[in-house]
Structure 1
Amino acid sequence: MKLKKLIKHGLNGVVVFCTILSSCTMSSNKQASYTAEMRAPAYPLITIDPYTSAWSMSDQLFDIPVRHWTGKTQSLIGAIRVDGEVYRFLGKEDIPLKAIVPMASEGAWKAKYTTSKPSKNWFKSDFNDKSWKEGNGAFGNNGNQNAQTIWETEHIWVRREVSGVDLSGVSKVYLRYSHDDDFVLFLNGEEVLNTGNSARDNRIVEFDASLLKKDGNNVFAAYCQDRGGLAYLDFGIYVENDREQAFSKTAVQNKVALSATQTHYNFTCGPVDLDVRFISPLLPGDLDILSRPVNYVDYDVVSNDGKEHEVQVFFEMTPEWAVNSPSQEAEVTRGTINNLAYVKAGTTKQEILKRKGDNVRIDWGYAYLVAAADQDKTVGLGDYNGVKNDFKQKGMISSQLASKVTRPSQEMVSMFVCDNLGSVGLKPAQSTVMVAYDDVESIQYFGDNLKAWWAHDGEVSFDEVLTLAANDYVSVVEACNKLDNQVWNEALNAGGKNYAELCVLAFRQSIAAHKLVKDKQGNILFLSKENFSNGSIGTVDVTYPSAPLYLKYNPELLKGMLNPIFYYSESGKWTKPFAAHDVGTYPLANGQTYGGDMPVEECGNMLVLTAAIAHQERNADYAAKHWEVLTVWADYLLENGLDPENQLCTDDFAGHFAHNVNLSAKAIMGVASFGRLASMLNKNEIADKYMSAAKDMAAKWIEMAKDGDHYKLTFDKPGTWSQKYNLVWDKLLGFNIFPKDVIQTEIDYYLTKQNKYGLPLDNRRTYTKSDWVVWTATMANSNEEFQQFIDPLHLFVTETEDRVPMTDWYETPNARQVGFQARSVVGGYFIKLLE
């Protein structure tokens, strides 16, 4: 693809805040149906890809700092000055807590530890730990940047002694901790924390200061269990810093509402009203715009008392957007491009595609703040506190720096736009900013460094894409409004208001957990990242639950999710007779890095999804391209799928086992899918063979799994049960190889097993997976039954105390997060729309 060269001078990798000329027509932005006025666990603000991601994790936009999905501060601050009075409406300064007992991010700490089970009094203050090893915290396996002592066993016990704790003048004390997975903490022999089976990063909770001795030693005793994947243990005690917010007065938030691509806030700021909209143009039907690394933030101000008021608006970002750790060195400079003024920040090392893993942020490319270069706007950088004081006192920024090399952890720099709207009355004053990211190189794919889709192999520069985004603003927002209304109406009609709200919240989260690129041959690659799971890229059993969103709105994106796995086998790089689990660790897609295989799981997933694509497209052309490897996988399921041996599957949180009934159902769906594909390709003998085999397997499944009024968890264990969500494809793809009374029997039984916040995954534990709940609900024959499953899930989303981008793994009795967040699998909520 060739674009007309719009700008001669190119930029390197960038994050951009760009104020579009306020002459842009804004009326189109009013057309979206902001119907989901729900309390979300976290509100999407900037959602581009797994790296460029910013969320409001509180009820009001100004309650806490804006954060990356990982929980790290990704500061955005917005303030409005009305007749000299300043109101903060966006974000909050992240005034760091003061370490009394520091975590490893402030420096390694010494402790005794053992990986062999100690005696029962190991947590007591007077326990003799002389035989234990000595090491520096934090403790974790490779891949954890703050891990000072490598821990690679399942269990670890740690004792840390601290003396001289000074709490004079302190009103509040906080426990800060990170762990993966189960974590128990004792202080001076008393248990103070027990997380159960969960993983958390940088969690902060208020702590009872009376438990700390002011004189003498305090003994912290910690236990952690690693259930697989990452392993980590770190903790500390902190107190509040005495520095105050520069913008202490806040606006009054009147509402927050969500649509598929937009988050809309309304505020009262004294005598004026302020609308702010965060727009992510993740349009599945337009891959250039979907992959375009640009989000819009638009705002308009109008008088609410009929009088004229002098108004200035302030937006600020920081170099935190350009680093993984605030201790990294970044350079901040400013300049101009044609009619744009900018300020940019980026790490001085620029180690492109060097960092991989789960709980990390990008540290290559540049963070840009850009605005139209006109007399009403000031774009620049300056002292973090001085800039805000200037805005408070004068409504303008007078002191600026030309450039600065800084470490955010030591000295923060303000990157700002100050917009003088002048006198504002009943006619709204309107403007727009853009947040964008050019990561230079996005993915390493089997040795090749690939640029994002929008760059078209380097033919399109960032200058061009930024200019296109500004020029296309009106048409893009109109397209977003149209899509928003479509998604809302289709979900509402399919499953009711609560279901529609879940879909609206899932839309951006799912898409932005991927990166869209193309390989050297031009094939589409839509690569997922396992956020807060293990950081894998292109995971098949993440693709499988995510697929319904893409099947509904553009199957090409689902092909982009399957293509890496097909290539991996067809190239000979993966030689096993079943599908791989993943193709690497994000952003390096050079081959499977997960420690175990999931043969039946992944073969079934690939076959079912290939058939689902054919069903949506009304042809099997895509399957024909991959027929040889699909045949290998189908034969594997024929031989091994009916009664699976002891092998991993996607739901093995409570341990894997043999004779898995739901995994067997997936294998049967996979065999039937292959038969359907053969039929569509006029391979009639093959079609008869595999469809007959699937029907025979289904009959045996019923006989083996039957357990009175339900079907078992494993064929060999009566008195057990599990969600059989894989059977949904029998309905959606029209196989009809399981009698309808089998499904109804399960649905009826499930409705007797629900807790307040939903249906558990199986009889072993009370937690569930939200994606599978929606799949199970879709198996129901009536909307009334469907909503009986959806309403508790909706209640979880709106009541959970865990303020993170929607988790898919939580406890059904109390709505607590077990693990995972911001994952793409919530795209599975759209499965009801495939009926």
Structure 2
Amino acid sequence: MLLSLVAALAVTAAASARPADQAFFGAPPPPPPPLPAPAIPLGNDSHASSFAPLLPPAIPLAVKSPYLNCWLSAGGDDGSKGYLAGSWAQHWPVHYAGSQRDHRLSWAGLIDIDGETFEFLGAPLSDAAPLLGPSKVARQTAFVYTATRSIFTFEARGVEFNATFLSPVSPNDVVRQSLPFSYLIVEVDPSALAKHAISVYTDISGEWASGEASVDLTWTYTSGSGVGTHAISRQKQLRFGEVAEQAEYGRATYATALRKGVVAGSGPADQLRKRFIHHGKLDGSHDVEYRKLDDRQPVFGFSVALSGQDPTAVFTIGHVRDPYVNYVTPDGQVNLSGAWTTRWPHYIDAISAFQSSASRALDEATRFDHTLREDARRVSGDNYAAIVELSTRQAFATFELTTGVDDDWKEDKEAVMAHLKEISSNGDMTTIDVVFPLHPILLYTNPTLLAYLLEPLLRYTHSGLYPNRWPVHDLGTYPNSTGYNRGDDEPMPVEESGNMLWMALAYFQLTGDKAWVEKHYDVFKQWTTFLTDDGLVPAEQLSTDDFAGTLANQTNLAMKAIVGIGAMAELANGIGRWTDWVHYRSVAKAYAAEWTKMAMTDAGGVRHAKLAYQDEDSWGTLYNLFGDRALNLQLFDRNLYKDQAEWYERKFEKYGLPLDSRHAWAKTDWHLFAAGSATTKEGRDSFVDSLVDFLQAGKVDAPFPDLYETPTASFPGREGFDWPIYFIARPVVGGHFALLALEKADGANGVDEDHFRE
């Protein structure tokens, strides 16, 4: 079986670099045994694909930025059930009432074996039959995902081949991480090429360039530096504009290395694909009639003849734009470019470099995937590995790395900022309480990335433009960082103050960056003063769970304030501000004691925290207790941890622990935060296992939803409204790395986790 063959090759590949033209792209090291089969019918058992480590609700294909965010829907009633052929990919599926577009991203793949053509990607034959002839579909035999790759294995006419979708994760290389490109790698066992004539065809449509079906498109084809590149854009660019969450400026790009047997072409979808079906290759002609996206669907593709010397076809797909964002300063908006432009000013050069480094990218991905899998399995087993691997590309694709701003408020090519899009919930830019649940994946992979994400927020605060005593909730609507100079942002004063201080200490504990703390110390102190005044008994306001509405005296929110004050004490201690350390430490300890008196109740027969001080019959998931544990603040008594663990055991539903007593909703990120403060391995694993149960139920059909109903594993309803809440493809899945981040924090803080659980 090809999957086994290339797995063995991949092990040796990680140990040595290979020339790009000799690379043989294999599957990852052998995966762990598949988890129990998902509750989704997979068709005829004799032809069913296997899925490892599990069948996710949506499969990441090209997932590298907010605007290169392509998924294959798998779950639900209308999903593909995990089969790559027969369904079209989508720009993360947007679900809302009255949506008039299915957000399809046409990405077609055909393979010709001895003159017989089979569909393996998308539905170019299935949708067009009988126009293009009989619909023949390659039989999918296996699917495996890792942190960076989705690997499909097929069989057609006795030939096995793989289609691998690789979105590199390079947390320690700002420029490479900022490249907005992904790979599609099609590989055939070289031994089959000695017996068969095989060629591969792939194309993309204009849907990758705009979210508006009736928009006029333009396109170009260039060949330079050994790479052929299609570039597609809307004719009238909407700078910093979006339609249906897709960028309406810049270019969608599709490229491959030019070698013997590679032919590029463009034209109406049926004509270009028919040409390949009839001849096994394109003829090099290009469509020169610019027109609307939905007028005779223009597509842009390549045919690649394979051989024993060249058994692999590698395609680069991307979306480039310049500038990336506009950023608010006292002198007006400043345009910031992607960090990659500091090395490759022109996108063609960036594509060429990305395409030619495919072999290196695969080697790096192999090492990253192996390390993450082994770390996750050590921390909490195969179920946890399945969760964090599925979360990785989704989390990293929600923020972009750009150039920075200097002290004169001009663009600084040497500096770095990161900007986050709050995908699907409302598109806000660098929302603090979304950066916050993302941040554990950054602590695990590279804490400096967290500093880059906090930089736009901190600079805006230092500018004096924001008038409130607490941090700004967000900086605008992506990609427009316009700020809130009137202080009229969504009000979450306690939430955002606690979040910023918590993240500041988490970064400092792992890096020891005293200069960074000194630089922002006055701002940190301002926010801590606010928490000292208003944090212990929070007025009626929103928490990060704003979908649940406002509430006064929230116990979990007050705990975040106490954690924030305690974090400030440790920041002061770290840079020798002894007076502040003693003061804030004593305040945090005193507040923790007061909180315990007001927050705890024996109602229900087990001591536990209420949702709000005044409501004896309420309860909530006390996920902010994780701050006391992860930052090693030791503000709260160990009995609190034990009491909450016992209470949670009583409140678990079929698919997890509800967020609080108001609804049966659960949040996946807070599940793993709560798991991080569990006092037993069994308690921790129950949170992890319930998330796998949710995924395997197969009720949802979108990129890792972070809000769901615990009794049904479905998208949550909303009281008083007639549509569900869809939180999908969001950054917050970075919170699934809480257990891995905790292990790193314990190492930095000298904490023995086994001792904590005794």
TM-score (norm 2): 0.84
| Most deviating of 52-61 and 463-472 | 463-472
Is 2:40 aligned against 1:24?
no
Match of 1:652 in 2: 546
Partner Cα separation in structure 2 for residue 286 and residue 496 of structure 1: 29
CA deviations over 1:278-311 (Å, ceiling 9, x no partner): 1111211111111112212212112788970111
Q: Which amino acid aligns with 1:63?
A: G
Partner Cα separation in structure 2 for residue 341 and residue 305 of structure 1: 27
Partner Cα separation in structure 1 for residue 160 and residue 24 of structure 2: 17
- Residue 53 of structure 2, aligned match among 30, 33, 37: 37
Partner Cα separation in structure 2 for residue 802 and residue 531 of structure 1: 17
Q: Shift in Å at residue 388 of structure 1?
A: 1.5
Identity %: 28
**Paired residue secondary structure (1:668):** helix
Partner Cα separation in structure 1 for residue 298 and residue 242 of structure 2: 27
Is 2:734 aligned against 1:734?
no
Change (3 A) 1:533 1:55: same
CA deviations over 1:717-743 (Å, ceiling 9, x no partner): 101100110011111111111111101
Q: Shift in Å at residue 94 of structure 1?
A: 10
Match of 1:813 in 2: 711
- Residue 799 of structure 1, aligned match among 691, 697, 718: 697
CA deviations over 1:338-378 (Å, ceiling 9, x no partner): 4333333211112322x148x42012222233333334111
Match of 1:221 in 2: none
**Partners of 2:20 and 2:356 within 8 A in 1:** no
| Most deviating of 336-345 and 444-453 | 336-345
Q: Shift in Å at residue 472 of structure 1?
A: 2.4
| Most deviating of 684-693 and 812-821 | 812-821
Match of 1:83 in 2: 114
Q: Shift in Å at residue 595 of structure 1?
A: 4.9
**Paired residue secondary structure (2:624):** helix
Is 2:62 aligned against 1:51?
no
Change (3 A) 1:573 1:281: same
- Which has the larger share of helix? 2
**Paired residue secondary structure (2:695):** helix
Partner Cα separation in structure 1 for residue 234 and residue 686 of structure 2: 51
Match of 1:757 in 2: 655
Change (3 A) 1:289 1:813: same
**Partners of 1:32 and 1:482 within 8 A in 2:** no
Match of 1:321 in 2: 208
Q: Which amino acid aligns with 1:821?
A: I
Partner Cα separation in structure 2 for residue 428 and residue 571 of structure 1: 56
- Residue 775 of structure 1, aligned match among 673, 689, 694: 673
| Most deviating of 280-289 and 656-665 | 280-289
- Residue 248 of structure 2, aligned match among 350, 363, 379: 363
Change (3 A) 1:493 1:399: closer
CA deviations over 1:7-66 (Å, ceiling 9, x no partner): xxxxxxxxxxxxxx9962334745545445310111111112101111111210113101
Partner Cα separation in structure 1 for residue 202 and residue 623 of structure 2: 46
Match of 1:193 in 2: none
- Residue 425 of structure 2, aligned match among 533, 555, 565: 533
How many corresponding residue pairs?
Answer: 665
CA deviations over 1:409-455 (Å, ceiling 9, x no partner): 23211211011125x6xx88223111133212111111111110111
**Partners of 1:766 and 1:811 within 8 A in 2:** yes
Is 2:369 aligned against 1:477?
no
Work out which of the two has the higher radius of gyration on C-alpha atoms and give 1 or 2: 1
Match of 2:737 in 1: 830
**Paired residue secondary structure (1:404):** coil
Q: Shift in Å at residue 715 of structure 1?
A: 0.3
**Paired residue secondary structure (2:246):** coil
Match of 1:724 in 2: 622
Match of 1:121 in 2: none
Match of 1:629 in 2: 523
**Paired residue secondary structure (1:289):** helix
Partner Cα separation in structure 2 for residue 370 and residue 734 of structure 1: 49
Q: Which stretches in structure 2 are left out of the alignment for 5+ residues? A: 1-17, 33-51, 75-81, 95-102, 407-411, 717-725, 743-758
**Partners of 2:126 and 2:135 within 8 A in 1:** no
TM-score (norm 1): 0.77
Partner Cα separation in structure 1 for residue 528 and residue 242 of structure 2: 34
Q: Shift in Å at residue 244 of structure 1?
A: 6.1
Q: Shift in Å at residue 673 of structure 1?
A: 0.2
Q: Shift in Å at residue 336 of structure 1?
A: 2.5
Match of 1:412 in 2: 297
Q: Which amino acid aligns with 1:634?
A: T
- Residue 584 of structure 1, aligned match among 454, 476, 479: 476
**Partners of 1:421 and 1:429 within 8 A in 2:** yes
Change (3 A) 1:89 1:594: farther
Match runs of 1:131-170 below 5 Å: none
Q: Which amino acid aligns with 1:531?
A: I
Is 2:358 aligned against 1:451?
no
Change (3 A) 1:279 1:50: same
- Which has the larger share of strand? 1
Match of 1:68 in 2: 91
**Partners of 1:605 and 1:666 within 8 A in 2:** yes
**Partners of 1:540 and 1:602 within 8 A in 2:** yes
**Partners of 2:651 and 2:658 within 8 A in 1:** yes
CA deviations over 1:477-514 (Å, ceiling 9, x no partner): 21111111111111111111111110000011001011
**Paired residue secondary structure (2:609):** coil
Change (3 A) 1:314 1:516: same
Q: Cα RMSD over matched residues?
A: 2.2
